[in-house]
Amino acid sequence: MIIDVHGHYTTAPKQLEEWRNRQIAGIKDPSAKPKASELKISDDELRDSIEGNQLRLMKERGSDLTVFSPRASFMAHHIGDFEVSSTWAGICNELCHRVSKLFPDHFIGVAMLPQSPGVDPKTCIPELEKCINEYGFVGINLNPDPSGGHWTSPPLTDRHWYPIYEKMVELDIPAMIHVSTSCNACFHTTGSHYLNADTTAFMQCLTADLFKDFPTLRFLIPHGGGAVPYHWGRFRGLAQEMKKPLLRDHLLKNIFFDTCVYHQPGIDLLTNVIPVDNILFASEMIGAVRGIDPETGFNYDDTRRYIEAAPSLSADDRAKIYEGNARRVFPRLDAALKARGR
């Protein structure tokens, strides 16, 4: 089985964006604020949005299951207050749940949290519990910068975040550390802000001892880990200067990386530098990087091709990246698959 751990609902029916625009307009003009019940999307419209897009490409490229969450750039936690974020997260999570019910063999959910700048993360727990316990989701996306590029929240290692971590440990779920839209003109959302955040999250964990307090906590850093694999020597050297344990002992029991890198040399570097046990297959299909690479003739996000061609990987290594590591990092995913005889 090939499990893609980084899928977003980027092809949701247009009614979702239209409703969101009305919600944003309602921040300034409460009379324009829509109710959640006003969003009408039929099952047939959901099927149409998936069958000709994600599901079609999954079949063409040979992947079996996508771990599926709301569109990352749509999270936009910096917009409005907690009530706005909570309503929006509930709507987006419910749509992903409906997709997973319509296509149970191909999609399983991961939750967007209703984060809001300056608001206690504890307020996210009801939505988190609903998604895990009622919807059967297998993880969460955690935004380390709800301010949208201004980094007003404490580091991920601060006790500010502990209510989320305590609930993650209780429910035995991982978090993908994933920012959303940048409202800072200095940082392009997908070309800069995303990669900066990936690197920043890793460095925050390096400088502290979070995993002493939460030894079973698991973070998945997307987009190949940002700059981390490329600058592995720098991070090893910094850890040494800080009198930290070796990175393999200090962080790699708890931190994992996906394969959303989009070119062969990048995957070759990732798989040479990062232990195979810490790499999970992912494509971020129909996401930030679309289109055909003129150098190869294939889509940038057809990431399975890069794994197949990586010279350092054995068949056993590929099996870990495609399936084994995902089952280990997402225990609820493993349990769900076993319950289905897969």
Catalytic residues, by residue number, are 284
Q: With beta carbons less than 8 A apart as the criterion, state whether 122 and 32 touch.
A: no
State CA 261 to chain mean position distance: 14
Q: Comparing C-alpha atoms, which of 184, 195, 177, 117 is closest to residue 150?
A: 184
Q: Is 118 exposed, middle or buried (0-12, 13-18, 19+ CB in 10 A)?
A: exposed
- Long-range CB pairs of 117-122 (<8 Å, 24+ gap) are 117/77, 117/78, 117/146, 117/147, 117/152, 117/153, 118/152, 119/81, 119/82, 119/146, 120/160, 120/163, 121/160, 121/161, 121/163, 121/164, 122/163, 122/164
